[in-house]
């Protein structure tokens, strides 16, 4: 188990620590298989079955094209990111598997954002619900422990829906995690089959297949 620290002499932000994990993994796989990175495999919806060592890769991406050896898919070393006490004003996109975020306590380590759905962006459109999340988890085998995830945008009738945690994946675990917000604090995927109003799903997973 690799341990990475944030704060108190470690990485200055959680986002930088997550980027380091992703870059380290991609560099390691590139050294062994220069044709593609593990991220390319995730982006192309590689489906794994550890017990039977069966791999199905959509969009013509084969296991060997991604990793060189099928068994390498199961060798992503787990990483724990230990986050010192403090308030972290960040918006996190977590797309790498086998990562655990460990805070100093739910009342000691706070990840906070302040995006609301009514905000008008530069393109003249509303931000919308699914671009407000403070933490977005879109992977498998992820754990968060002993911390708070918060969206402090404000009351829903003023700022609109404002997600603290958007979780979409398998085997996601949250232990002693406090979720704080005003409206739509937690959203768990997948998205519904159809939006209530046009553009209602605007965001990272807007065009992904619905698996209900």
pLDDT tens digit at each of 212 positions of the chain: 899 999 999 999 999 999 999 999 988 877 764 334 444 444 433 344 434 333 333 334 344 444 444 435 545 789 999 999 999 999 999 999 999 999 999 999 999 999 887 778 788 777 777 788 999 999 999 999 999 999 999 898 897 888 899 898 899 999 999 999 998 899 887 666 566 566 555 556 555 665 55
Name the phi and psi angles at 112, rounded to 5: -130, 140
How does DSSP assign 33-70, residue by residue? -TT--HHHHHHTTEEEETTTTEEEESTT--HHHHHSSG
Tokens of 119: 């905000």
d(CA 39, CA 69): 16
β partners of residue 102? 82, 145
d(CA 195, CA 12): 38
| Helix (H) and strand (E) counts in the chain | 4, 13
pLDDT at position 141 is 95
Whether the bond into 190 is cis, omega within 30 of 0:
yes
Report the b/e string of 36-69 with b at 16+ CB within 10 A.
bbbeebbeeebebeeeeeebebeeebebeebbee
pTM for the structure as a whole: 0.73
Strands 46-49 and 54-57 come out as antiparallel
């Amino acid at each position: 188990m690799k341990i990475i620290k944030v704060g108190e002499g470690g990485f200055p932000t959680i986002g930088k620590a997550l980027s380091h994990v992703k870059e380290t993994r991609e560099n390691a796989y590139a050294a062994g298989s220069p044709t593609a990175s593990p991220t390319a495999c995730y982006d192309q919806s590689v489906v794994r079955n550890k017990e039977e060592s069966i791999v199905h890769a959509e969009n013509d991406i084969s296991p060997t094209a991604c990793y060189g050896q099928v068994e390498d898919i199961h060798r992503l070393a787990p990483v724990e990111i230990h986050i010192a006490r403090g308030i972290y004003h960040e918006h996190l996109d977590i797309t790498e598997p086998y990562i655990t975020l460990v805070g100093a306590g739910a009342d000691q380590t706070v990840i906070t954002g302040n995006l609301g759905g009514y905000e008008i962006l530069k393109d003249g459109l509303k931000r919308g619900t699914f671009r407000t999340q403070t933490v977005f988890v879109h992977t498998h085998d992820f754990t968060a422990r002993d911390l708070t995830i918060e969206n402090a945008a404000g009351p829903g009738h003023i700022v609109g829906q404002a997600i603290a945690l958007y979780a979409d994946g398998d085997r996601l675990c949250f232990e002693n995690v406090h979720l704080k917000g005003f409206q739509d604090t937690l959203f768990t995927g997948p998205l519904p089959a159809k939006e209530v109003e046009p553009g209602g799903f605007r965001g990272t997973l807007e065009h992904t297949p619905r698996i209900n």
